[in-house]
A and B are shown apart, each in its own frame.
Chain A
Amino acid sequence: MSILMNNSTRVIVQGITGRIGSTQTHWMLEYGTKVVGGVTPGKGGSTVEGLPVFDSVEEAVRETGANASVFFVPAAFVLDAFLETIDAGIKLIVIVPEHIPVNDVIRMRNYAIEKGVFALGPTTPGILVPGKGKMGIMPASLFAPGRVGIISRSGTLSYEFAGILSESRVGQSTVVGMGADPVVLRNLADILELFQEDEGTDGVIVVGEVGGEQEEKAAGFIARRMTKPVAAYITGRYSPQGKRMGHAGAIVRGSSGTVEGKHKALREAGVEVLESPIYVAQWAKKHNLK
C-alpha cells in the first residue's frame, strides 16, 4: 500500500519534450511508472519515449485516461498550465520546477484547494512508491519497499533519509517531497493525515528545515490525530538566517521559525527529534519498522 499513487495512477508529463522532461520520463518509465503521455503546446502529434504528445491537457486526458500529472514546465508558464490541468479534471499534480513567483503559487494553491485537487511543490522532487512507480525526479537506486513513510521539505534530504534506511534494511511505503518554497500547494499536516490513514505505513519521518511554521502547525495535528510513531529532523541549526529586514513575518507567526522552536513544538507532540540524519536507522529499529 501507499499514499497518493497506486496501481490506477496514470501519469502525464507536462513539458515532456524539454531536455529535463524527456530524460525524467525515461527514468520514470524505467522505474515502472504508468506514464501514458505528455503535453507540450505546439508539439502535439509527436512522440517522446514512445509516448503520445498532446497540445492540451484536455486532449491528453480524453485520449489516455490520465488522472495525474507531473510538471517540467518553465517557471514562467507553470501557473497557466496548472489552471489548465485542474480544469481538465486531473486530481494529482506534482510541480517539480523551482523559482515560481510566490504570487503565482498563491493562486495555484487556492484554486487547487477549491477544486479538491491534491498538488505538491513547487520545488519538489515529487512522489516515489518504492518498487512501484514515481512522479518526479527521485533517483530510484536509494529507495526500497517497506513500511516507513517520509515527508520532506528538501528534495536531496529525502533521498538521504531513504538511502540511510534502505542501507539498514528498512524500506519505505511512500516518499513525498512537499516542496521547499515559502508557500507550498499542500501543508505538512495534510500529508501526515494520509500516512496516518494508510494501512501500508507503520511510522513516519518528517524532514523539515528552519523557517516558516509548517512543523509547528503539524505538531498540533500529530498530538491530536497521529497514533503511529513520528520522528523528525530539522536542518539549518548553523545556517545564517540571512540579514532579515522587516518584521511582518515574525509578527504573524509569533516566532521566527527557529530550529529550537520547531524541536520544542515537535517534542511536546510526542515526536522523536533526530539530531542528525544518521540516527534515523536506530529510531526505525527501536519501533521495529521494516
Chain B
Amino acid sequence: MRLHEYEALDIFEQNGIPVPRRGVAGSMHEALHVAGEIGYPVMLKAQVLVGGRGLAGGIKTASTPDELKEMAEELIGSEIKGLPVRKILVCEKVEVAKELYLGITVDGYSGKPVIVASTEGGMLIEETARTSPEKIAAIHIDPSFGYYPYLSRGLLKMLGLKQQLITAWTDVISQLYKVALRYEALISEINPLVVLPNGGLIAVDAVLEVDDSALSRIRFPLPDRVDRIENPIERRGREIGVSYVDLDGDIGLISSGAGLGMASMDIIGEKMKPANFLETGGGITADLLYRCMELIMMKPGLRGIFINVYGGINPIHEGAKGVVRYIKEHNVKIPIVAKALGNRQEETWEIFSSAGVHVVTEVATERAIDKLYEIVGGN
C-alpha cells in the first residue's frame, strides 16, 4: 500500500525526522488558510499516488496569496497522469543549500535491505543513476544484525559529503530505518533530502510503501487501504480479494495466476485489446468466480470473455459452477471461451459447456485466444 506524501510526512515527523511546516488542503480557501499560518512563499504539491509528479506540473511555488489562489484552483480538481487531485499539500518553502537523495528498499536479488543515497537529489535521480553511477552509493544491511549507524557514516564517506553533516545525516538514516521496520516498508524514501544553509537536514518529500502482506501485524495506525483506490472496479476487486487492473480494451479476462494472466494479456493484445487483468490467486471457489464475473461485467461494452485457469491448488470445477450460475442468472450473451486444465478438468469442461461456454482443451493459451478471435473478430 502506498501512502500519500502528507501521510508519510506525518509518520516521518512522529519518528523524529525533521520535516517542513505544512498542512493539507482540499479547497482554495483551506490552502489560503494554511499558507497564512506558515507564511509565504509556500510550495503547493498535488497529492496523487504516482511518481514523476513534479515533472508533470504537480508542484508549484506561490509567493503571494493571489498567486496561491490561482495555483490552488488550477491544481485542485485537475488530473496528474490520469489521477484526480483531491488534496494538495501546502508546505513551507525551505532554503536549499544542496539536495540529496535517500532511500531504503529491499534488494530482491540479494534478499537484503539496502540503503541508497546520492548527492544529486531531485526529480532526475533515476537519470543520474544511469548516467553517473559514481554519484550513487548503496550499502546492504545484513539481516542477521540489522542496521547500525556506522553504515550511514560509511555512506557519507562514499559520497564525499562534508563531515559537518555526520550527526544530522546519521540521525536521519537511523530514523528512516526505524520507519521502514515499524511500517514493514518496501520503500521509504526522501527525495530531496535538503541540506539547509545552516547545515541541518530536512525531508522535503516523503515516500512510504507498506508491504500488504504485513498489514495485519503493523502496530501503528495506518490509513484505510481500499478507500484510496480511485477506480471503482479495482476497488471492488480489492474488496473481494482478487487483483483487478482496469485497461482500455473490450475483452474481459479471468485467470488463476499472475503469470498466466500476463501471458494471456500479451497474446490477446496481438489481435484484440484486453479490458482488464484479473488474477484470482489460489483461493478459487464457486462464489469467488461468480463474483469475478460480476466484477469484469461492471465494465460496459465487453465483446468477449476469456477464462484461463489451471487446477493445481484451485478446484476449477467449483469455479466453473460459479461462472455458469452467473451466466444463467444474468442471461449473459457475450461469447465466453474457457481453457481449464488440471485436476478434474473433464468435469469442469462439462459444467462450462452446459452454459454455452466454448471450451478449448488444447494446452496453448494461443489456441484458446484464436478461438475467441474467430468468434468475436478484431476491432
The answer to whether A180 and B187 touch (CB under 8 A), given A238-B266, A247-B126, is: no
Q: Encode A153-178 as 1/0 by CB contact (under 8 A) with B.
A: 11111011001101100000000000
How far is A268 from B378 in the complex, measured between Cα atoms in Å?
Answer: 36
The reply to whether A101 and B184 form a contact with Cβ atoms under 8 Å apart is yes
Chain B, interface size category, equals 35 or more
- A288 on interface, CB distance cutoff 8 Å: no
In the A-B complex, the 5 residue pairs with the smallest Cβ-Cβ separation, listed nearest first, are A154-B259, A156-B257, A139-B342, A248-B103, A163-B363
How far is A62 from B63 in the complex, measured between Cα atoms in Å?
Answer: 75
Chain B residues with CB below 8 A from A210, complex form: 262
Contact of B260 among A96, A160, A239, A278 (CB under 8 A): A160
Chain B residues with CB below 8 A from A20, complex form: 282, 313
Cβ-closest chain A residue relative to B215? A101
The reply to whether B187 and A76 form a contact with Cβ atoms under 8 Å apart is no
- B111 on interface, CB distance cutoff 8 Å: yes
Which of A101, A156, A235, A246: most chain B CB closer than 10 A?
Answer: A156
How far is A80 from B49 in the complex, measured between Cα atoms in Å?
Answer: 35
Cβ-closest chain B residue relative to A217? B109
The reply to whether B126 and A156 form a contact with Cβ atoms under 8 Å apart is no
Interface 9-mer from A52-60, A86-94, A104-112, A222-230: A104-112
How far is A213 from B114 in the complex, measured between Cα atoms in Å?
Answer: 15
Give B contacts to A, CB under 8 Å.
Answer: 2, 49-51, 81, 83, 101, 103-109, 111-114, 116, 118, 125-126, 129-130, 133, 136, 138, 143-144, 181, 184, 186-187, 189, 191, 207, 209, 211-214, 216-217, 245, 247, 255-260, 262-263, 265-267, 269, 274, 277, 281-282, 310-313, 341-343, 345, 362-367
Give A contacts to B, CB under 8 Å.
Answer: 20, 24, 27, 75-76, 96, 98-103, 105-107, 109-110, 114, 125, 137-139, 141-142, 152-157, 159-160, 163-164, 166-167, 180, 182-184, 187, 207, 209-210, 212-214, 217, 233, 235-240, 243-252, 254, 276-278
Chain B residues with CB below 8 A from A237, complex form: 266, 269
How far is A233 from B262 in the complex, measured between Cα atoms in Å?
Answer: 12
Contact of A98 among B108, B189, B281 (CB under 8 A): B281
Chain A residues with CB below 8 A from B184, complex form: 101-103
The reply to whether B260 and A250 form a contact with Cβ atoms under 8 Å apart is no
The answer to whether A251 and B108 touch (CB under 8 A), given A154-B259, A239-B277, is: no
How far is A106 from B213 in the complex, measured between Cα atoms in Å?
Answer: 14
Chain A residues with CB below 8 A from B269, complex form: 237-238
The reply to whether B50 and A235 form a contact with Cβ atoms under 8 Å apart is no
| Distance of B307 from chain A, by nearest CB (Å) | 13
Cβ-closest chain B residue relative to A188? B109
Cβ-closest chain B residue relative to A138? B312
The reply to whether A245 and B49 form a contact with Cβ atoms under 8 Å apart is yes
How far is A237 from B209 in the complex, measured between Cα atoms in Å?
Answer: 24
The answer to whether A101 and B144 touch (CB under 8 A), given A96-B313, A243-B49, is: no
How far is A157 from B267 in the complex, measured between Cα atoms in Å?
Answer: 13
The reply to whether B129 and A251 form a contact with Cβ atoms under 8 Å apart is yes
How far is A114 from B341 in the complex, measured between Cα atoms in Å?
Answer: 39
The reply to whether A164 and B257 form a contact with Cβ atoms under 8 Å apart is no
The answer to whether A137 and B312 touch (CB under 8 A), given A110-B144, A142-B341, is: yes
How far is A93 from B278 in the complex, measured between Cα atoms in Å?
Answer: 30
How far is A233 from B245 in the complex, measured between Cα atoms in Å?
Answer: 23
Contact of B189 among A141, A187, A247, A277 (CB under 8 A): A247
How far is A251 from B265 in the complex, measured between Cα atoms in Å?
Answer: 28
| Distance of B279 from chain A, by nearest CB (Å) | 9
Contact of A156 among B51, B209, B256 (CB under 8 A): B256
Instruction: Pull 10 A–B residue pairs with CB atoms less than 8 Å apart, ordered by A.
Output: A98-B282, A105-B111, A106-B143, A139-B312, A141-B341, A156-B255, A239-B266, A245-B2, A251-B126, A278-B365
Chain A residues with CB below 8 A from B362, complex form: 167
List 18 additional contacts besides A139-B311, A235-B266; criterion CB under 8 Å. Answer: A20-B313, A101-B213, A101-B214, A103-B214, A106-B112, A106-B113, A152-B259, A160-B260, A160-B364, A163-B341, A164-B364, A183-B111, A184-B111, A239-B262, A248-B189, A251-B116, A254-B130, A276-B366
Cβ-closest chain A residue relative to B180? A103
How far is A110 from B106 in the complex, measured between Cα atoms in Å?
Answer: 14
Contact of A110 among B126, B143, B189, B310 (CB under 8 A): B143
Chain B residues with CB below 8 A from A105, complex form: 111
| Distance of B362 from chain A, by nearest CB (Å) | 7
The reply to whether A100 and B213 form a contact with Cβ atoms under 8 Å apart is yes
Which of B217, B362, B364: most chain A CB closer than 10 A?
Answer: B364
The reply to whether B262 and A141 form a contact with Cβ atoms under 8 Å apart is no
| Distance of A30 from chain B, by nearest CB (Å) | 10
| Distance of A25 from chain B, by nearest CB (Å) | 13
| Distance of A159 from chain B, by nearest CB (Å) | 5
Contact of A155 among B2, B125, B259 (CB under 8 A): B259
Cβ-closest chain A residue relative to B104? A248
Chain A residues with CB below 8 A from B144, complex form: 110, 114
How far is A174 from B111 in the complex, measured between Cα atoms in Å?
Answer: 25
The reply to whether A24 and B341 form a contact with Cβ atoms under 8 Å apart is no
The reply to whether B189 and A246 form a contact with Cβ atoms under 8 Å apart is yes
Chain A residues with CB below 8 A from B103, complex form: 246-248, 251
Cβ-closest chain B residue relative to A210? B262
Chain B residues with CB below 8 A from A209, complex form: 258-259, 262
The reply to whether A102 and B50 form a contact with Cβ atoms under 8 Å apart is no
Contact of A240 among B114, B214, B277, B313 (CB under 8 A): B277
How far is A271 from B283 in the complex, measured between Cα atoms in Å?
Answer: 35
Chain B residues with CB below 8 A from A164, complex form: 363-364
Contact of B116 among A110, A180, A233, A252 (CB under 8 A): A252
The reply to whether B312 and A243 form a contact with Cβ atoms under 8 Å apart is no
Chain B residues with CB below 8 A from A248, complex form: 103-105, 114, 116, 187, 189
